Amino acid sequence: MGLLDDKVAIVTGAGRGVGRGEALELAAEGARLVVNDAGAAVDGSGGDKAPADEVVDLVRARGGEAVASYDDVSDWEGAARLVATAVDAFGALDVLVNNAGILRDKMIVGMTEEQFDSVIAVHLKGTFACTHHAASYWRSQSKAGAPRRAAIVNTVSSAGLVGNVGQANYGAAKAGIAALTVISSLELQQYGVRANAVAPGGATRMSSGVVAGRAEVKNPEDYDDGEFERLNPANSAPMVAWLASDAALHVTGQVFKAVGDEISLYRPWHVEASVKAPKGPRRWKPAEISNAVNTHLFGTRNGGLTLGGGA
């Protein structure tokens, strides 16, 4: 018995790297799969059916069920066809793993409009488009009295949650996906849908171009339990499978990091400290802000003795 027996799942960007590991993990846990990959290069150019087909063949060779999809998730109609593929092939949809992405790294002063827009389109718009069409299906099922215990698992990155030089487009997209994850969890809970996100890590085609000296681990499934490789991009896949399963019905609106043998929980933006205008309530004067912020928010200067509640 697998955690995902009787579940139907879509994994986007599933032909290589992190997505390939996720697809194989979900299949190993019993999910019937739509393996989506447009087969593009890291920068989004070109197209090749071979990556998706190869993963489908691997799943079937291991006794699982899978079909391929080559749709571009950044295309609105393509995302709709992807969801329809799952329903047509397997009669349902329970899990959506949004993983597809490209890179076009440049410093802000050198980045073109097209380089920014193309990365936002695949990562952020692609995640939204697939989520929209899947959510429409789940809403219809709920209204028909047959709600699914459904799950969305989005792919984020520390480049967006912490920041990384040269990745304004990618980081902005990933930070947006984290926010979209939280909002999806709030809006879709009424239909029985959970939404969470995972920041994976590992040596992939994409990361090998960002981190000097990092070679791609091309076939994550080749590593067995006796040969642990921290940079294997499939290491995050068990967390994705768990979040997709009914074992995690209590988990939604969360953002995790899963790298190597470690799972971490990100805390969202929150108010850490605050200071009010002195002798208020009233509007601040700009000249007052420097001392107040440096003293009470940053703690970079001594505020001195204060009496009577003054600042």
Is the pTM higher than 0.85? The answer reads yes
Does the pLDDT value for residue 50 go beyond 50?
yes
Catalytic residue among 69, 170, 184, 236: 170
Question: How is domain 8-266 classified at the CATH fold level?
Answer: Rossmann fold (3.40.50)
Does the pLDDT value for residue 83 go beyond 80?
yes
Write the pLDDT tens digit of every residue in 60-71: 999 999 999 999
Write the pLDDT tens digit of every residue in 7-26: 999 999 999 999 999 999 99
For the chain, give the percent of residues with pLDDT over 90.
81
Does the pLDDT value for residue 58 go beyond 80?
yes
Task: Identify each DSSP E strand in 139-290 by its residue range.
Answer: 150-155, 193-200, 255-259, 262-266
Catalytic residue among 69, 74, 157, 184: 157
Q: What is the pLDDT of residue 237?
A: 96
Contact by Cβ (8 Å): 79, 132: yes
**Residue 189 contacts by C-beta under 8 Å, 6 or more apart in sequence?**
252
Span 282-302, mean pLDDT?
A: 93
Instruction: Supply angle C-alpha 15, 30, 205, rounded to 5.
Output: 20
Q: What is the pLDDT of residue 162?
A: 92
Q: How confident is the model at residue 306 (pLDDT cuts 50, 70, 90)?
A: low
For this structure, is 264 an active site residue? no
Q: What is the pLDDT of residue 228?
A: 79
What are the sequence ranges of the domains in the chain? 8-266, 271-311
Nearest alpha-carbon partner for 234 in 55, 83, 85, 3: 55
Mean of the per-residue pLDDT values of the chain = 91
Query: Rounded to the nearest 10 degrees, what angle do helices 113-120 and 168-188 cross at?
Result: 30
Write the pLDDT tens digit of every residue in 206-229: 554 545 554 555 555 544 556 778
Catalytic residue among 118, 174, 184, 185: 174
For this structure, is 174 an active site residue? yes
- Please indicate whether residue 307 or residue 41 has the higher confidence score (pLDDT): 41
Write the pLDDT tens digit of every residue in 231-275: 888 999 999 999 999 999 999 999 999 999 999 999 988 899 999
Residue 33 has, within 13 A of its CA and on its CB side, a CA count of 38
Q: What is the pLDDT of residue 208?
A: 47
Write the pLDDT tens digit of every residue in 113-148: 999 999 999 999 999 999 999 999 999 999 999 999
For this structure, is 106 an active site residue? no
